[in-house]
């Protein structure tokens, strides 16, 4: 029998940390379903508005240490405005079951195929990527013309050594982890380790008690990941460099107090983009945007942006 989030308490404990109007309730709870893709049964949360009149459909894209359910504040807020949203769990996190070592390229392929699948509904597909989901969304937009627009909270180019140093839990890992994983891949790719020992998990959010609950979430920040995933994350590169990208517009969210991927990490990539773009700084928000007034700024900017996208022929 397929698992559902009703069998887990972690996401329910998170709700108290979100502003009330962004919480899951009995009236706005997402529907859950599984999509059979290659060797995976991919779990997806589906936020369906009461009046789905918009011509836009969003795919919410989580990063490392997260899952689709962790993006519920965005799904709740935008579905209340009439926007249909889906939030998949990428292999290694959430309820998507994996039976073999997966790579970061698996994530790219999965999201690319999911975009094509959802585009069949004749709606404009917008990718909303949070954390590492931001660059993942960009990488798919580079190769898929069905991506109509992007909304992301980070553009961390993991090929760069300064980005690897920033993401790593300590300087030693930042300096040597990728080289070690690359040299030893035939031995280490099949090994799983806790995601929380690789990165600055303390900075996932501003509230220490929320972070402690995150680290205990065995389908999120408490997950174990294959070293193959980490190795390929650092070697992945987009099909188009930012200066060559003009395929679709981009709305960029920068949490003001993001200590994992601060503005100076995303800024060089953002500045080189050759597309229609705008950046909004979210006041008071940490890496996971959930605090007021920043989350209200995110909602307001997203609604304005999506209304423009909705009107484009």
Beta bridge partners of 85: 47, 58
CA distance 95 to 90: 9
Comparing CA positions, the residue from 35, 63, 195, 55 lying closest to residue 137 is 63
Beta bridge partners of 150: 127, 250
Question: What CA–CA distances, in Å, run from 124 to 77, 111, 119, 245?
Answer: 19, 15, 7, 19
Per-residue pLDDT of the chain (313 residues; tens, 9 = 90+): 689 999 999 999 999 999 999 999 999 999 999 999 998 999 999 999 988 789 999 999 999 999 999 999 999 999 999 999 999 999 999 999 888 899 999 999 999 999 999 999 889 999 999 999 999 999 999 999 999 999 999 999 999 999 999 999 888 888 878 888 889 999 999 999 999 999 988 899 999 999 999 999 999 999 999 999 999 999 999 999 999 999 999 999 999 999 999 999 999 999 999 999 999 999 999 999 999 999 999 999 999 999 999 888 5
Phi, psi of 270 (to 5 degrees): -60, -45
Comparing CA positions, the residue from 240, 59, 279 lying closest to residue 154 is 279
CA distance 77 to 21: 8
The dihedral built from the CA positions of residue 111, 157, 132 and 264, taken in this order, carries a sign that is negative
């Amino acid at each position: 029998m397929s698992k559902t989030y009703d069998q887990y308490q972690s996401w329910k404990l998170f709700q108290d940390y979100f502003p009330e109007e962004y919480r899951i309730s009995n009236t706005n709870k997402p529907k859950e379903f599984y999509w059979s893709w290659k060797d995976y049964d991919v779990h997806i949360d589906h936020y369906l508005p009461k009046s789905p009149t918009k011509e836009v459909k969003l795919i919410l894209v989580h990063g490392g240490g997260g899952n689709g359910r962790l993006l519920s504040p965005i799904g709740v807020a935008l579905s209340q405005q009439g926007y249909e949203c889906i939030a998949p769990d990428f292999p290694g996190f959430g309820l998507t079951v994996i039976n073999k070592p997966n790579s970061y390229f698996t994530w790219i392929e999965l999201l690319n195929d999911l975009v094509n699948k959802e585009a069949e509904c004749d709606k404009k597909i917008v990718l909303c990527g949070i954390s590492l989901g931001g660059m993942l969304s960009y990488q798919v937009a580079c190769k898929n013309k069905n991506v109509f627009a992007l909304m992301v909270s980070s553009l961390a180019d993991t090929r760069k050594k300064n980005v690897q140093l920033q993401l790593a839990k300590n300087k030693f890992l930042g300096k040597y982890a990728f080289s070690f994983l690359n040299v030893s891949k035939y031995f280490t790719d099949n090994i799983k380790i806790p995601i929380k020992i690789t990165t600055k998990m303390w900075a996932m959010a501003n509230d220490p008690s929320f972070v402690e609950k995150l680290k205990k979430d065995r389908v999120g920040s408490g997950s174990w990941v294959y070293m193959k995933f980490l190795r390929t994350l650092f070697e992945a590169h987009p099909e188009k460099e930012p200066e060559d990208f003009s395929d679709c517009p981009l709305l960029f969210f920068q949490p003001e107090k993001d200590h994992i991927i601060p503005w100076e990490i995303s800024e060089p990539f953002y500045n080189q983009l050759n597309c229609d773009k705008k950046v909004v700084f979210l006041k008071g928000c940490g890496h996971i945007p959930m605090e007021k007034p920043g989350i209200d700024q995110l909602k307001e900017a997203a609604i304005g942006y999506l209304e423009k996208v909705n009107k484009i022929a």
